[in-house]
Amino acid sequence: MNFRNISVVEARLLLEAQGPGRVQIVDIRDDQSYAHDHIDTAVHLHNSNLQEFIDNADLKAPVLVYCYHGLTSQSAAAYLAEQGFSDTYSLEGGFEAWKHH
């Protein structure tokens, strides 16, 4: 496995330790869910902007991927790690866990 599952508590600590804007946060939910609510600074990633994100992202900066419940984000995190991202995380429990924690 080339990414790591991370709890909401660990994710918040990572964001705090790295400082504002240092962690690339990726939301892979549908348009409506993203528009309704998302983690601050999260990029809404979908098939049409995926390559652009990869081309312009900092491969050395941490990447935190989340979906609804933390399942689909694991495949997305693995894919990003395969594209050269060196510090990739999938948020356990997804956005649902984030907003209730």
Catalytic residue list: 67
3-state secondary structure 5-49: EECHHHHHHHHHHHCCCCCEEEECCCHHHHHHCCCCCCEECCCCC
Cα–chain-centroid distance for residue 58? 14
Q: Residue 56: how many CB atoms within 10 A of its CB?
A: 8
